[in-house]
Amino acid sequence: MNEKIKHKPEKKRFELELENGRTAFILYKRKNDHLDLIHSEVPESLRGQGIGKTLVLKTLEQIEKEGLTATAYCPYIKAVVLGSEKWKNIINH
């Protein structure tokens, strides 16, 4: 698996390329320099392999790199970042 996240502002999402041309992604709504992370999705046949967690962590790294902040509305994203000291400066949950 290619673990490089791609920010696609035109689609309002972050994408993680997977095998066979499939993609895992996080959708967001943007308000200035703040993102509302509203949905995360991994292809059903690939769930349970840690791809979702990788997707969230790589997305948060990219958000930080771009100097943005975010609020997690997606329950899965909230579960990954809940109580994380590393992400408390950029992610609200």
Q: Would you say the pTM of this structure is higher than 0.85?
A: yes
Cβ contact 6:14 at 8 Å: yes
3-state helix, strand, coil in the chain (%, to 5): 30, 35, 35
Q: Per CATH, which fold does 5-88 belong to? A: Aminopeptidase (3.40.630)
Cβ contact 63:56 at 8 Å: no
Q: What share of the chain has pLDDT > 70, as a percent?
A: 92
Choose among 54, 52, 51, 84: nearest CA to 70: 84
User: Phi/psi zone of residue 67: left (φ > 0), alpha (ψ -120 to 50 degrees), beta?
Assistant: left
**What is the token pair recorded at 53?**
């967690």
Instruction: List the chain domain ranges.
Output: 5-88
**Model pLDDT, residue 90:** 67
pLDDT of 34-66, one tens digit each?
999 999 999 999 999 999 999 999 999 999 999
